[in-house]
Amino acid sequence: MTPKEVLKLAEEKNIRMIDLKFMDFIGIWQHFTIPISELNEDLFEDGQGFDGSSMRGWQPIHASDMIVIPDPTTAIVDPFMEVPTLSLICNIFDPITKEPYSRDPRNISMKAEAYLKSTGIGDTAYIGPEPEFFIFDDIRYSEGADHSFYFLDSEEGTWNTGRDEGPNLGYKPRHKEGYFPVPPTDSQHDLRTEMVLALEQVGIRVECQHHEVATAGQAEIDMRFEPLLKMGDQLQWFKYIIKNVARRWNKTVTFMPKPVFNDNGTGMHTHISIWKDGDPLFAGDGYGGMSEMGLHFIGGVLKHARALNAFTNPSTNSYKRLVPGFEAPINLAYSSRNRSASIRIPMYSSSPKAKRIELRFPDPSCNGYLAFSAILMAGLDGIQNKMDPGDPLDKDIYGLSPEELKSIPSAAGSLEEALAALKDDHEFLLKGDVFTQDVIDTWINYKTEKEVQPAKLRPTPYEFALYYDC
């Protein structure tokens, strides 16, 4: 869509407001809105100014002026605004140099796609994430010098089987038994269907929706794969739509990786494949029907996996899910069909077009633009350096003895470990100026100062249960 076509669409839809959306460095959509009278073709050239010092991880206050320039190809009528509103996703530019801003996550994903083409290896990286999430009825949390607590609740939480609900009708999924009984035990089918219809309304293709393993409203809605940049945009629309549809139902959604103790956490299994001139490049006659290129891609991801964790699992809460011996695959191995491996080669179809790899350690707390770009860069490094992924592991990894596990490396055990790995291993991300050294340093410093250190300083309620009477 061109700027002229955006203006025509706005006229046809009787649009009265223009919403300009963009991603902050950490991964939260931001926006501001202008009236339709301010929409003209110049906006797509000159952009709109804003204060970059108020964005997390961006500009200092003495150099705060930034510009957002909307991408006309992203024009979508917002399905939630009461007044007809056209939404445009924006790129960030420096007002002095007019150059794309290096810390703009969307710019990083655009550079990743350009770098892929420049290598001659392929021209398109298709990404297919499977974001899981929880739908709760109530969430309260607070922390201070004198207290710290959280409380969450769900009508279908198994802990509410004895609650007086006037009347309590039962049918609450037990821990780890939410995958996937029919209604009435699955009480949120209609809600998820409304989410699917809203996603389709903005042009997102959905493959399926279902209840997930955990009690208390864990859900999954799968999008059909798209090129990297487009999927980065879609993941933001996905979170926006899921949260806002839930609010219509007076419910709340979280993409936190581990909000419920002693039940499955929330992951975002991520499928990726590389194509060139319309042909898939990962299909071949090697293990799992993979090509040599596909196996080298796996080798690159395995080599750099602990550094990737800093982007694919970027919260301290991520590592409440990535725990040895539990449901998340932390052992850095690959296999066909085997869901206990951190990289799986899906075997649903024999079609070359379906051949891809599935990374099972990412979670949806990530910034999709950064996570997808980092995964691609790791795989490309594997292809360029012909990295051998080693032998596949076709056993149930959870059933291996301690001796057998010693030879299998594992993902980072904490955000602090992941950031340390990124500090030591990030040269592959700097190729093609996709990630700059400034981006790497800023990410590590921000996450350390704003998340790792504050979390380490605070006592937790469970520590009182363990140690108060010591």
Active site residues: 51, 130, 132, 212, 220, 269, 339, 358, 360
CA terminus-to-terminus distance, the chain: 66
Q: Of the candidates 330, 333, 342, which has an alpha carbon nearest to the alpha carbon of residue 414?
A: 330
User: Within 13 Å and on the Cβ side, how many CA atoms surround 219?
Assistant: 28
Q: Specify the pairing of strand 124-136 against strand 268-276.
A: antiparallel
Q: Of the candidates 413, 380, 408, which has an alpha carbon nearest to the alpha carbon of residue 304?
A: 380
Maximum pairwise Cα distance, the chain: 71
Question: Could you tell me the two tokens for 277?
Answer: 């001139």
Structural contact between residues 419 and 447, judged by C-beta atoms closer than 8 angstroms: yes
DSSP for 400-436 reads --HHHHTTS-B--SSHHHHHHHHHHS-HHHHGGGSS-
Q: Is the dihedral of CA 67, 118, 428, 132 positive or negative?
A: positive
How far from chain centre, in Å, is Cα 81?
25
Q: How far is CA 119 from CA 78, 100, 312, in A?
A: 37, 22, 24
The Cα 338–Cα 2 span in angstroms is: 45
Q: What residues have CB less than 8 Å from 140, skipping those under 6 apart?
A: 149, 150, 151, 152
